[in-house]
Structure 1
Amino acid sequence: METRPETDPRETFGRALRTHRRGAELTQQELAARAGLGIRTLSDLERGVAGPRPATAGLLCTALGLGHPAAVDFHALARASWHSARR
């Protein structure tokens, strides 16, 4: 019996980030500028190849204008992604 590999938390965070960015009708470049991040950093986060530092997650949350409870969920995904990236 074959089992499915568990989804990487970085990919889950990346999909959530992309969904929020598109919902805010922002390009990657616009969101990166609002958050004070490099475009490559934002791209890496969306592609799930990097996990955000806690401070980076806060910058993104503010730049996206996420309110409660979306911000709480976003930070939880970011924490899981950050811990996954550090393994």
Structure 2
Amino acid sequence: MENGPETDPRRAFGQALRTLRQGARLTQQELAHKAGLGIRTLSDLERGTAGPRPATAALLAGALGLDRPGTEGFHALAHAAWRTARG
């Protein structure tokens, strides 16, 4: 059974990523550059069409300047999204 939009971990991660990026007042292009990622990768992650690799999540957390609790929550969402993306 497929996850619906409300329960898909990739969508949940994407929404959290977008919210954090906007809260940091960064464009997708700015965040992608800061994290050393491609703009398409960031766009796919925000749309929930891809799950982040653990290393990608670490790069994004660093680029967003998340504190320790924020980083832990971000990595938990990323881990669930990565597991879902891998099938």
Which residue number corresponds to residue 30 of structure 2? Answer: 30
2:39 and 2:68 mapped to 1: Cα distance? Answer: 26
Matched, 1:64 2:60: no
Which residue number corresponds to residue 9 of structure 2? Answer: 9
Residue identity opposite 2:62 in structure 1: T
Residue identity opposite 2:24 in structure 1: A
Which residue number corresponds to residue 79 of structure 1? Answer: 79
1:7 and 1:82 mapped to 2: Cα distance? Answer: 14
CA RMSD of aligned residues (A): 0.8
1:69 and 1:19 mapped to 2: Cα distance? Answer: 16
Which residue number corresponds to residue 41 of structure 1? Answer: 41
1:68 and 1:57 mapped to 2: Cα distance? Answer: 14
1:75 and 1:52 mapped to 2: Cα distance? Answer: 10
Show CA shifts across 1:30-69 (max 9, x none): 0000000000000000000000000000000000000021
Structure 2: state its 5+ residue gaps.
Answer: none
TM-aligned CA deviation for residue 7 of structure 1: 1.1
2:70 and 2:57 mapped to 1: Cα distance? Answer: 13
- Identity level (%): 71
| Equivalenced residues, count | 83
State the TM-score, normalizing by the size of structure 2. 0.93
User: Which stretches of structure 1, 4 residues or longer, exceed 6 Å deviation after superposition?
Assistant: none
Structure 1: state its 5+ residue gaps.
Answer: none
